[in-house]
Structure formats: structure tokens, C-alpha cells
Amino acid sequence: MHRLLKLLLVTTLALFAMPVFAADRPIEAGVDYVEMPNGKPWQPLAGKVEVVEVFSYSCPHCAHFQPAFAAWKAKVPKNVRVTYVPAAFNLDDPNGLAYFAGLRKNIIARAHDGLFKSIHEKGDFPINASIDEYAAYLSAFGPDREELAKLMRSKEVLADMQRARNFEIAAEVGGTPTLVVNGRYRVLGQSVDDQFRIVNQLIQKLSATTPR
């Protein structure tokens, strides 16, 4: 009995020593998120709370993150706007050019998940695809291949990439995937679930103060 009590005591002390990741642990600036006081949202808030995922199709971590993020996105409150913004560390990155061209052609929502799967699961699309290869892929969703390639090289899409780069610099985004809330809060977190805990609490906090 004495040995059993000793074992229980050691186990209890070990549990208290473990890091706390409980869903209701209040978020802390500098621990769970970084605040940029001068940060601006990707789009005007208009009464919404904006959650942006900065991503890249070539990023394996983004591919791993996408199913969980899509499932979370499907359950957000109506006052939350979830938006993808491609990484624009290089303005001529075909990953970002393809996203914005597909967005302008209103087809990217249908192609988004499939691109991750083709690159990182099926292996039937190159991880370092060119503009022409992306144009060929996206043409399966309707638009003409040459038209897509031309759009990806257009000044309009280049302007989209520049705006993405400016947003990412202001939010101090250094890699992908990164979540940014209202342009002011860059989410940290030690796991995917931890990131969602932080985002959910930021949404609750901002929903209480955002005019509708």
C-alpha cells in the first residue's frame, strides 16, 4: 500500500509539472500571439473578424495543416471571415501567382485542396511548378490555359502579390503556414490544436469589441 501511495504521489507531481494546453487557458500576448499595433487587415473588416492563413502550395507543413484548417473553417461563426493569402516572399513565385490568377477567374476554391494533394500526396504535380505548369493544371477548371498563363504574368496579379507581400511584412510573417487575425495578431502556438485554441479565443475577444 505504501508503495502504491508513493507511486500515485509521484504521478500527481509529474502531471502538475507538465505544460498546460487546456482549451480554456487564457491567451497571453508574447506567448500565444504577437501583436502588431499598426497592422492592418487584408480586407476592410466591415464588422467581421478576419482570419488569414498565409500559405504556399509547395509547403509540406501547409499541406498537413490544410485538412484541419478546412474543418475548422467550416464551423466558424458568421461574423468571421476566413481568407487565404499566398506567401509573397518572392513576387514572381508561381504558387502565389497561380492562387491570385485562379481567384480572379473564380476557380481557386475548387482547385485549392486538390493542388495540395497533387503535390504532396499523389505526386502527380511538381513541387516547384512553373507558371505554364500551373496554368495547365488550372485550365482543367474551365479557363483557357494560355489566358491563365498571361494573367499570372499580368500587372494585376503582380499588384496582388505586392499587396500580399506588404501584408506579410506588416504582420512579420516569416514562414508558412501562419495565421493572422485582423492583421494585428500573428498566432504562435505549439501545435495545430494549440493554434486553433488561440484563434478561437482571439475571435471571442474581438467579437465582443467589433461593431456590427
In a domain? residue 15: no
Pairing mode of beta strands 80-86, 33-35: unpaired
Residue 2 has pLDDT above 50, yes or no: no
In a domain? residue 78: yes
> Do residues 56 and 62 touch, judged by C-beta distance below 8 A?
yes
In a domain? residue 178: yes
**Chain-wide mean pLDDT for the chain?**
90
Residue 208 binned pLDDT confidence (cut-offs 50, 70, 90)? confident
Would you give the DSSP letter of residue 75?
T
pLDDT of residue 210: 61
In a domain? residue 98: yes
% the chain with pLDDT above 70? 88
C-alpha cell at 136: 495547365
φ, ψ at 89 (rounded to 5°): -65, -30
By C-alpha distance, which of 146, 124, 134 is closest to 98? 134
Residue 19 has pLDDT above 80, yes or no: no
Residue 13 has pLDDT above 70, yes or no: no
Tens-place pLDDT, residues 122-135: 999 999 999 999 99
- Which one-letter amino acid corresponds to residue 83? T
Cis? peptide before 177, omega within 30° of 0: yes
Cβ neighbors of 103 (< 8 A, separation 6 or more) are 160
pLDDT of residue 65: 98
> In CATH, what number is assigned to the domain containing residue 53?
3.40.30.10
pLDDT of residue 67: 97
In a domain? residue 67: yes
Conformational region of residue 191, where left means phi above 0, alpha means psi within -120 to 50, and beta covers everything else: beta
Tens-place pLDDT, residues 22-57: 457 899 999 999 999 889 999 999 999 999 999 999
Residue 160 has pLDDT above 60, yes or no: yes
pLDDT of residue 211: 58
| pTM: predicted TM-score of the whole model, two decimal places | 0.87
Q: d(Cα 159, Cα 22) in Å, to the nearest integer?
A: 42
Residue 10 has pLDDT above 50, yes or no: no
Rounded alpha-carbon distances, angstroms, from residue 140 to 71, 95, 153: 25, 17, 19
C-alpha cell at 68: 484541419
Mean pLDDT of 8-16: 38
pLDDT of residue 4: 38
In a domain? residue 189: yes
Q: Range with the lowest mean pLDDT among 24-38, 129-143, 180-194?
A: 24-38
Tens-place pLDDT, residues 88-109: 999 999 999 999 999 999 999 9
In a domain? residue 2: no
> Do residues 190 and 31 touch, judged by C-beta distance below 8 A?
no
In a domain? residue 1: no
Residue 5 has pLDDT above 80, yes or no: no
Q: What's the first-to-final CA gap in the chain, in angstroms?
A: 62
Which residue range is the domain that position 130 belongs to? 22-207
% the chain with pLDDT above 90? 85
Count of the separate structural domains present in the chain = 1
Chain-centroid distance, C-alpha 83:
8
Q: d(Cα 177, Cα 189) in Å, to the nearest integer?
A: 12
